[in-house]
Amino acid sequence: MSHTDERSEARQYGTTSPSREDAFPEKSSPESSDPNPPITSSTRAKVPASEKALAWLNALVLLAASMVGIVSFLFPFITPPAYSTQEITTHGSAHSSDAPLLLIIMIVLCLGAILSNLQSRKMNSKIVAVLGILTAINSVLRAVPGPAGFAAVFMLPILCGYAYGATFGFLLGALSLLVSALLGAGVGPWLPFQMFTAGWVGMTSAWLPKMKPWPRVEVAILATWGILWGLLFGALMNIWFWPYVYQAQDAGMYWQPDTGLLESLKRYALFYVTTSLWWDLGRAGGNFLLILLFGTPVLRTLRRFGQRFRFETI
């Protein structure tokens, strides 16, 4: 019987042969059965408005943390501390009254960033676990000894901020300094300022151009970035106590309430070069060497984890 006769008979008796799609149903892909698929550019339009609002909330939390940090550093210049120009004031009393409040605010903002990312599905339990592990590792790295101001604590925030985004980098930098301080590095009025500055190290690393196709150029840029932040971290950290210290014999490098902006910058430059530059050069050189030596394998590992756990840059 020809195919034409078969089709005619099927129409006559009201039966049809199964189609190719019915006979061979399409197999579902593993991605279609994933109960928690990652948010990609193709699915972003399907994200509920509430989750988009939570994503904006995360950005606002990060902005709020940065603004609190900036205001905290500049507050002594706005409301000058009271001390006599005849006495030698040490930085031990700097921010002794407001530092505990700043520390609480910083911890709350970090928790708020984590919760907002969990609610918006930009983070999941696996990402939080990785953040915790990297924080623990980085806290231990802070204890690695080295010359001058060398500190191994900045390599991971730079690399993780670059690979995983501004929020992850900020959280890793800030929480690493908190945990390491509790483990023995020392808790004092300087701690919230260290957390703000280390958080900025990780956050701003996410702003660097992505050079994944050129690994050598990528590592060179990140290593140079480590030099910059090695110097900038020390320069920023000096500001938390500089307005509170004064020595009459070296009055030309200390701030006074009646000092103008240009004169204040000149005095601070002199203070920084005299007291901190050589120390910060050790930190900058350490960052450069660590990233140059370990940047490529660490980035490779971070990206492998990102693909496995379906990280989204945050």
How high is the pLDDT of residue 91? 54
Residue 224 is encoded by which pair of tokens?
């140079």
**Which stretches of the chain score pLDDT less than 50?**
10, 13-14, 16-17, 19-33, 35-36, 38-45, 84-88
Q: Rounded distance, CA 296 to CA 293, Å?
A: 8
Give the Å distances, CA to CA, from 298 to 23, 188, 207, 219.
Answer: 49, 32, 19, 11
How high is the pLDDT of residue 149? 79
Burial class from Cβ neighbours inside 10 Å (0-12, 13-18, 19+) for residue 156 reads buried
Domains and CATH numbers, the chain: 47-309 (1.10.1760)
67: amino acid identity, one letter: M
CA 151 and chain centroid, separation: 17
How high is the pLDDT of residue 88? 46
How high is the pLDDT of residue 27? 46
How high is the pLDDT of residue 35? 47
Alpha-carbon dihedral sign for residues 175, 178, 179, 180: positive
Token pair 């339009």 in the structure block, residue:
45
How high is the pLDDT of residue 305? 85
Query: How do residues 82-123 score in pLDDT, each as one tens digit?
Result: 654 444 455 556 677 788 999 999 999 999 889 888 887 777
How high is the pLDDT of residue 82? 63
Alpha-carbon dihedral sign for residues 251, 252, 258, 264: negative
Q: Is the separation of the CB atoms in 220 and 284 below 8 Å?
A: no
Going by the DSSP 8-state scheme, the letter that residue 147 receives in this structure is S
How high is the pLDDT of residue 46? 52
Going by the DSSP 8-state scheme, the letter that residue 170 receives in this structure is H
pTM for this entry: 0.78
Alpha-carbon dihedral sign for residues 238, 241, 244, 250: negative
CB atoms within 10 A of CB 189: 21
How high is the pLDDT of residue 312? 63
Determine what percent of the chain falls in helix, strand and coil, rounding each to the nearest 5.
70, 0, 30
How high is the pLDDT of residue 86? 43
Residue whose C-alpha is closest to residue 139's, from 79, 185, 74, 99: 185
